[in-house]
Amino acid sequence: MPIPARFDAFRIHNDDAGYRSGVEQVAIDDLAQGEIDIAVVHSSVNFKDALAGTGKGKILRRFPLVGGIDVAGHVVASRDPAFKEGDAVLVTGSGLSEVRDGGYAQYARLESKWATLLPAGLSLRESMILGTAGFTAALALLRMHENRQTPGLGPLAVTGATGGVGSLAVDIFSSAGFEVHAISGKPEHADYLTSIGASEVLGRDALGTTRPMESARFGGGLDNVGGPMLVSLLAQTVPYGNVASAGLAASADLGATVMPFIIRGVSLLGIASAGTARDIRDRVWQHLSTDWKPRHLDAIATREVRLSELPGVFDTMLEGGSFGRTLVTI
């Protein structure tokens, strides 16, 4: 199907008129170069999208760009023989809405080296309920596994548990056989967290310490929050457990001591979803479409919006008010 001369895109500008974003009409040749053109079916909203769309974080490195770090749709034109018209593909991160145009548009032009053929076992919709958030949670589990994390070490803590990464981590970790303790500042969503796989729900202050060492209560965990919570998690992790650091929803600080590392052999694993090597990306999506596929994707997709509704979603997210994942439908 031919691409229309002009189509809708949620574009971000920063020029003499200031930082601004919204829906406008663009042409396919306005977009950054790439080998495949897709008709977008879904995108999603991540914390980084909210920072980029509002200008509250320095995400974009050139302007203007179409927003949206995640995208899934059907190929309508390909200049790479590895992809053909009609293929269902997805891209997460990989410079979208950072150095090249992203997924908040009716059509996207993508670099084929970052595109993944939709794995059997996932629909386009499911792939974007997962998006960067699900990829990040699964990448954390992959790295923990590689570093000998087992359910026998004890429960995995997930901070920022009602968020996108947090909710998917709760579901994925429990699907993979781990007991999950969800740490959240939203007690009103305790039932939600239990329903998606948490066996315990703890308040943010339950970790309660920034002392270098405490009695060990977690096998390890995934931290989406940073600052004192990450320090507490390290201090309460069992010998040779792993703590994966993925986010900074509260703070980018890390005021820790080396004690958990040198007394208990605890490992701090860095998780960077954007730009993950192709072989690791393929392994993560393989897991996400099979043995680690979350069992509660419909419950985690708490909101579905159109491009014009994005500004309101961004504000709620940056205020810490969202929960679960917001799916964008084109």
Nearest approach in angstroms of CB 98 to ligand NAP is 12
Nearest approach in angstroms of CB 138 to ligand NAP is 11
Distance CA(159)–CA(203), nearest Å, equals 10
Query: What is the phi/psi pair of residue 237, to 5°?
Result: -100, 140
What's the token pair of residue 322? 């969202």
Nearest approach in angstroms of CB 136 to ligand NAP is 4
Q: How many CB atoms lie within 10 A of CB 86?
A: 9
Q: Closest-CB residue for ligand NAP?
A: 163
- Which residue ranges make up the site for ligand NAP (CB under 6 A)? 46-48, 132-133, 136, 160-166, 184-186, 204, 224-225, 246-250, 271-273, 317, 320, 322-323
Query: Which is nearer to ligand NAP, 105 or 133 (by Cβ)?
Result: 133
Nearest approach in angstroms of CB 3 to ligand NAP is 30
Query: Which is nearer to ligand NAP, 212 or 320 (by Cβ)?
Result: 320
Question: Of 28, 39, 36, 92, nearest to 66 (Cα)?
Answer: 28
Distance CA(11)–CA(101), nearest Å, equals 9
Query: Which is nearer to ligand NAP, 246 or 297 (by Cβ)?
Result: 246
Q: What angle do CA 120, 126, 130 make, to 5 degrees?
A: 110
Is residue 67 within 8 Å of 52, Cβ to Cβ? yes
- Block residue for tokens 């680690």: 292
Query: Which is nearer to ligand NAP, 107 or 135 (by Cβ)?
Result: 135
Nearest approach in angstroms of CB 39 to ligand NAP is 25
Query: Which is nearer to ligand NAP, 31 or 201 (by Cβ)?
Result: 201
